[in-house]
A and B are shown apart, each in its own frame.
Chain A
């Protein structure tokens, strides 16, 4: 029955349309919970003033009414001004309030200036309605604020007041009331709408400033905590033990920081054990989440027993939700635990019911997962909020990174130390190389090129001079594999060689290799082996030089011989024999060749024959070595110069490509017959 008459409200019709729009919009905001967007509704307010001005013009008349209007308008203006003072932040909305305040005052004073005629009962009614509106909102909002959730209440108030105001407006129009009634209901309506909007803003502003304040304090405290953690980390030494002690200290600091910042009722840090791969309790504070079953006899014992028990708790891979957090690196957060959650997550112990809020954070860095941290609050405390979560996350992330850095530091230091040791090992090895005086005997001059790949070499060269026999023993050896293990096997081979030759006076290359083979076959695992050639050069009475050699799977030797008046002859010499260290029953045999003074012999390891040309796959091979050898033999070059030729040629060939194996090259020049 209202509907047809709604269109009869005459002057109030624009107000009516605006009020309807506000109602619909308020409803939309309320349902969709878009409170921020709701502030756009402020733009509607100027329309009210326009409407008010129109209505004011239409009600020209009674000058007596002006007193009441002054009183009310002063109250309203004062109210607005006090808001602005209270809210003097540089907020856009607040500037709008200023504008509205000025406008509302003008609008209220305008009818006064022009003069409005109305009866006294209406005057009282207007005054009463306005005061009622103010009181109503004052009380409602005060109560809402006390309940601690003002924003929602404010919006509910707005939602409630607007339709009610509109309803009253219609009722008065139905009864043919003076259009002045419409005017002040309109004012009440406006206030009812406007005041909550303002309070909403103020509340938001207040919360924002409080948050900033809280965050500043938190930041300062976190900064101090982080500084202490860093100091703690840097204070330790460089060994693994120091590191572990340090990490323990850092975790203790993490626990303290979390306890101060978040104020939980319990924190526990679980770390991955390096040896058994279980998650073990590292630090505990307060209430412990019953993620493990605590035997009833422990529970019945004194409090200390439970603590001791917890410290020894070990969670096997895959057990409990802690492992999920650990593996997935995703925090688990339950603001308030349901009974179902408690049953699912915890063991059935009496303390389970006390836990209200649960936060589990993973401790991890780029490559490594360290452990998890659990935080709990019990039912008497308020649940964790997002600020608590982000602070705990921040601290745990920082500590994880710090621990990771600490680990990397110790590892780097250890690596550096190992490298130093390798350098020392390399030096020892170099000192074992034959010295120049050992290399030049009565019958031969020897030059060696040796370029290890990693500080220590798996290649080995030895020259043993035997002046009483007019002989020299030369060995070249290449141990499979690289670095320290290869170097150790090399040392073993060297010891055996010297023992056989010097103590047992065994000079037969075949026997030497056989003995070495027996010795190392027993001493090492099967996949380590070595190739070698052992040469025995002896000057015979007829001035010929005999070369006896045996081989254990090593590259052929290259011999450059030249008979008087002929061209030099370069050939590869080899004999049968598998590498040493494979089969201890193998008997190695030797072969004999006859050489002359001035002849050259070259020995090399595969690091030399496999030198890559530039960065191609092409290999140095034997051809180039043979060619140089032929030239030096023809020209009878001094070995110390000849070796330079080889060095230069290899360097030129490699053209800066990366070395990928130890390189050893041995050049022996047999001394010419002394005149």
Chain B
């Protein structure tokens, strides 16, 4: 798993690629904790390049979502496709998670939230 970080004003975009599983989810969680401590208001997890997502990976997304609520930050998961999408549908979390089609949509929504 690799995480590519981009800053966009008060928002931060994490482009995640590869497998988010038992082994890599710890790293992602640590990265997220670091970001939640920071000053960013909006967070986008871009998952277009994620090829595999297991239950620990789902746990990681759950953590991100609940922490963002606690810390009063906005979070979006963008471009979840393929196998990860299936996992999220299977666990019926597709309506629970703030999923969007693309980073642009996420940024637009974050922009609106700012106003």
A576 engages B92 (CB within 8 Å):
yes
- In the complex, per-residue mask of B45-66: 1 if CB is within 8 Å of any chain A CB, else 0: 0000000000110111011001
- With A582-B96, A583-B96 known as contacts, the answer to whether A531 contacts B59 (CB < 8 A) is no
- In the complex, per-residue mask of A497-534: 1 if CB is within 8 Å of any chain B CB, else 0: 00000000000000000000000000000111101000
Chain A residue with the shortest CB-CB distance to B60:
A527
Chain A residue with the shortest CB-CB distance to B94:
A578
User: Residue A480 at the B interface, CB < 8 A?
Assistant: yes
A527 engages B91 (CB within 8 Å):
no
B91 engages A531 (CB within 8 Å):
yes
Chain A residue with the shortest CB-CB distance to B96:
A578
Give the shortest distance, in Å, between A483 (CB) and chain B (any CB): 10
- With A481-B55, A481-B59 known as contacts, the answer to whether A527 contacts B29 (CB < 8 A) is yes
- With A482-B22, A526-B66, A527-B29 known as contacts, the answer to whether A577 contacts B92 (CB < 8 A) is yes
Chain A residue with the shortest CB-CB distance to B52:
A617
Report how far A583 CA is from B96 CA in the complex, Å. Answer: 10
A527 engages B62 (CB within 8 Å):
yes
User: Residue A478 at the B interface, CB < 8 A?
Assistant: yes
How many CB-defined contacts (below 8 Å) exist between A and B? 52
B22 engages A579 (CB within 8 Å):
no
- With A481-B22, A482-B22 known as contacts, the answer to whether A527 contacts B59 (CB < 8 A) is yes
Chain B residue with the shortest CB-CB distance to A480:
B55
A553 engages B59 (CB within 8 Å):
no
**Which residues of the partner chain A approach B90 to less than 8 Å between Cβ atoms?**
553, 555
B91 engages A553 (CB within 8 Å):
yes
User: Residue B93 at the A interface, CB < 8 A?
Assistant: yes
**Which residues of the partner chain A approach B92 to less than 8 Å between Cβ atoms?**
551-553, 576-579
Q: Which of A480, A531, A582 contacts B56 (CB 8 A)?
A: A480
Q: Which of B56, B67, B91 contacts A579 (CB 8 A)?
A: B91
A553 engages B56 (CB within 8 Å):
no
- With A576-B92, A578-B91 known as contacts, the answer to whether A526 contacts B55 (CB < 8 A) is no
In residues 547-562 of chain A, which contact B (Cβ within 8 Å)? Answer: 551-555
**Which residues of the partner chain B approach A606 to less than 8 Å between Cβ atoms?**
55
In residues 61-106 of chain B, which contact A (Cβ within 8 Å)? Answer: 62-63, 66-67, 90-93, 96
Give the shortest distance, in Å, between A659 (CB) and chain B (any CB): 14
Give the shortest distance, in Å, between A484 (CB) and chain B (any CB): 14
B66 engages A578 (CB within 8 Å):
no
Chain B residue with the shortest CB-CB distance to A525:
B63
Q: Which of A480, A482, A576 contacts B58 (CB 8 A)?
A: A480
Report how far A583 CA is from B62 CA in the complex, Å. Answer: 10
Report how far A531 CA is from B59 CA in the complex, Å. Answer: 12
B93 engages A578 (CB within 8 Å):
yes
Q: Which of A526, A551, A555, A583 contacts B63 (CB 8 A)?
A: A526
- In the complex, per-residue mask of A571-605: 1 if CB is within 8 Å of any chain B CB, else 0: 00000111100110000000000000000000000
**Which residues of the partner chain B approach A480 to less than 8 Å between Cβ atoms?**
55-56, 58-59
A526 engages B62 (CB within 8 Å):
yes
Chain A residue with the shortest CB-CB distance to B58:
A480
Report how far A582 CA is from B55 CA in the complex, Å. Answer: 13
In residues 27-57 of chain B, which contact A (Cβ within 8 Å)? Answer: 29, 55-56
Chain B residue with the shortest CB-CB distance to A483:
B22
In residues 5-23 of chain B, which contact A (Cβ within 8 Å)? Answer: 22
In the assembled complex, 30 residue pairs joining A and B whose CB atoms fall closer than 8 Å, in A order, are: A478-B55, A481-B56, A481-B59, A482-B22, A526-B59, A526-B62, A526-B63, A526-B67, A527-B59, A527-B63, A528-B59, A529-B55, A529-B58, A529-B59, A529-B62, A531-B55, A552-B92, A553-B90, A576-B92, A577-B92, A578-B91, A578-B92, A578-B96, A579-B58, A579-B91, A579-B92, A579-B93, A582-B62, A582-B66, A583-B96
Q: Which 4 A-B pairs have the closest CB atoms?
A: A553-B91, A480-B55, A527-B59, A527-B63
